Structure 1
Amino acid sequence: MKIETGNVATIAYDITTAEGEIVESSDISGPIAILVGAQSMIPGLDKRLVGLDVGAEETFEIPPEEAFGTEEDAPTNVVSRAEFPKDAKLEVGQKFQANMPNGTTLTLAIREISDDTVTTAMIHPLAGKTLSVSVKIISVRAATSKETEAGRAMVTPPPPPPKK
């Protein structure tokens, strides 16, 4: 069965930066099942999976615009000026790190400052980076109605193969 948008594909994968830095690997976390077309992993990956069949092994280069974006197009958030220390000297362009509840560290860049608010861009650590994604298609199946409604695969993928 070839992958189509709306199928659930279970994949083994390696994600690296163009510089060779390992971002994530199913060798560590195990294969994942994704609802193709729901942009559940990296947006540009979904369209590259369409048409592949079980057993296919491919490597894709995914530009920043189809991965985690660029610093320039990072989403923004407006926060109260009161969230910052009163004596903080804030300047447009200033950057600082913020730890998110899920453990991810984001760079926040100040875009605008008013008397009451500060607008920051929320920059993902991989923003601006081209990614290399190697995949092996383990299985493909039609999504259930619950998966389609939820917008995600609802299965636990098989454990990774034993190391040789």
Structure 2
Amino acid sequence: MTITKDNVVQFNYTLKDEKGEVLESNLDQDPIAYLHGHSNMMIGVEKAMEGKSAGESFSATLPAAETYGEKVEGAEQRVPVKHLVGATKVWKPGMTATVNTDQGQRLVTILKVGKFMATIDTNHPLAGRELTFEIEIKDVRDATHEEVAHGHAHGVGGHHH
């Protein structure tokens, strides 16, 4: 079965930067599952998967506009330190943190930090970069009626209700 709209795709990946250094990988974890054609995946990754089949492995080098977006200059914002979420409570410039917004969680970079307020860059830390995804497609199946109605994959690697 080749990947088309309304298929649930399960895959593992390794993400590399412009120098070929590994930024993240889920090779030793359960595959990610997503519903193809429903804007649940980066546009570049989804386009690269179109027409592929289970068992295929491939590499796709994608421009920033098709992954985390172009870097927006001046995307700085001051937020209370108590709104920064992460593995630490001692924040320093250059660290990444998560902030909760009206649109959901957002990964940000800390530029300056004081006792009560922090200046953050709201661009995703990987915005503006050409990235390479090495992908291994584990499974492709037709989505259930419920998955299509909900707009996302269910089960392992997908959404759990």
Look up the match of 2:32: 32
Give the alignment's Cα RMSD to 1 decimal.
Answer: 3.1
Q: CA deviation at 1:26?
A: 1.9
Alignment of 1:4-83 (within 5 A): 4-72=4-72
Counterpart CA distance in 2 for 1:65 and 1:73 is 15
Question: What is the total number of aligned residue pairs between the two structures?
Answer: 133
After superposition, what is the alpha-carbon deviation per residue over 1:86-121, rounded to whole angstroms, capped at 9, x for unaligned?
Answer: xxxxxxxxx997732478641489xxxxxxxxxx97
TM-score if structure 2 supplies the norm length? 0.67
Q: Deviations over 1:36-72 (max 9, x none)?
A: 1233232210111110012111100111000001112
TM-score (normalizing by structure 1):
0.66
State the identity %: 29
List, as ranges, runs of 4+ consecutive aligned residues in structure 1 with deviation greater than 4 Å. Answer: 95-98, 101-105
Q: In structure 1, list runs of 5 or more residues that go unmatched.
A: 85-94, 110-119, 158-164
CA contact (8 A) 2:38 2:151 kept: yes
Gaps of 5+ in 2: 81-92, 112-119
Residue 132 of structure 1 deviates from its aligned partner by 0.5
- Determine the structure 1 residue equivalent to 2:90: none
CA contact (8 A) 2:8 2:35 kept: yes
The whole-number CA distance in structure 2 between the counterparts of 1:23 and 1:151 is: 29
8 Å CA contact 2:14–2:135 kept in 1: the answer is yes
Which residue pairs with 1:139 in the alignment? 139
2:154 counterpart letter in structure 1: M
